[in-house]
Amino acid sequence: MKRVAFLTSGGDCQALNATMRGVAKGLYAADSDIEIYGILEGYKGLIYENYRKMKPSDFSGILTQGGTILGSSRQPFKHMRKPDENGLDKVEAMKKTYRDLKLDCLVILGGNGTQKTANLLHEEGLHVIGLPKTIDNDIYGTDMTFGFQSAVDIATDCIDCIHTTAYSHGRVFIVEVMGHKVGWLTLHAGIAGGADVILLPEIPYDIDSVIRAIEKRTEEGKRFSILAVAEGAISKEDAALTKKEYKQKLKNNPYPSVSYKIGAEIEERTGQEIRITVPGHTQRGGSPCAYDRVISTRLGAAAASLILEEKYGYMVGFRGDEIVPVPLSEVAGRLKMVDPNSSIIKEAKSLGICFGD
């Protein structure tokens, strides 16, 4: 009989439950004696022994349910080796919970930081399987993460809605899309929503180039312009600063986010009326889209197979349409970013989409 625990950590997304359901169904189908535990609120639950035994029925009816039935929390990797306020060694505490539960495997669903801690636990000798969750699609070693496509759909719907009102009023609209370090979500939603300007963290923008693109549209008789701007979009000028200088500059910045700064510059220089829309956490909410339900189910089934084969220390990822186990040591600490010279960027540029470079 195997004993397996599930843990969801970091920012949530739409298909966490769908993925856990996939793993659980795969395990229960192969071995009816299997015991599954749910670690509550991410690594916090593993550190402070907060968990519950799950029943097969807990995994029924959750394919379409967003969020996570286990709860989540952010436990930054950089603090994992630091004792908590009571001097508790977090890594030792996590290992103790694992041992006390007599686990054969810990299944960890999460993004980049989460996979780093998963690798740490693997290096500490625990049996770990990682599953790639994030709306950002920035996990190294997999072409696709679950949550991404659902978030693309929501951000695209937002841009679609903005189109009609932007046209009516003849305004410039900025839709700020999630993604501090990478721009996959902005890129895909921007293209799907027909944005005229797409600004990504990977391609620092020149405000002159953005303004030229808007003025060109006005000269062509277009009544409105739509910009899809990533949370982490950055100007060329700011990208040239050191991290420290940039942080210092942000302290004196009057704008709540980069979109407001860009909006103010456009308004001042073009005289056009600007509106800013921030869909924010709606992008992580609601039900998973059909695509995410499919990939979550597949990833879950593949994770169950690895556990049954006792192949640990991997994150289950996609290469094209193929599922591949990727060593956690390869995933940890690396980001999958948008390549400014990639084909998708070239294609978008060839249609006239401005990337501000």
CB nearer to ligand F6P: pick between 282 and 305: 282
Beta carbon of residue 335, minimum distance to ligand F6P (angstroms, whole number):
11
Beta carbon of residue 232, minimum distance to ligand F6P (angstroms, whole number):
8
Task: List residues near ligand F6P by CB under 6 A.
Answer: 11, 74, 111, 134-136, 178-180, 231, 284
Beta carbon of residue 320, minimum distance to ligand F6P (angstroms, whole number):
24
CB nearer to ligand F6P: pick between 52 and 180: 180
Residue 196 a catalytic site member: no
Beta carbon of residue 73, minimum distance to ligand F6P (angstroms, whole number):
10
Active-site residue, selected from the candidate residues 12, 33, 84, 136 = 136
CB nearer to ligand F6P: pick between 58 and 136: 136
Q: What is the 3-state secondary structure (H, E, C) of the chain?
A: CCEEEEEECCCCCCCHHHHHHHHHHHHHHHCCCCEEEEECCCHHHHHCCCEEECCHHHHCCCCCCCCCCCCCCCCCHHHCCCCCCCCCCHHHHHHHHHHHCCCCEEEEEECHHHHHHHHHHHHCCCCEEEEEECCCCCECCCCCCECHHHHHHHHHHHHHHHHHHHHHHCCEEEEEECCCCCCHHHHHHHHHCCCCEEECCCCCECHHHHHHHHHHHHHCCCCCEEEEEECCCCEHHHHCCCHHHHHHHHHCCCCCCHHHHHHHHHHHHHCCCEEEECCHHHHHCCCCCHHHHHHHHHHHHHHHHHHHCCCCCEEEEEECCEEEEEEHHHHCCCECCCCCCCHHHHHHHHCCCECCC
CB nearer to ligand F6P: pick between 136 and 196: 136
Beta carbon of residue 111, minimum distance to ligand F6P (angstroms, whole number):
5
Write out the catalytic residue numbers.
136
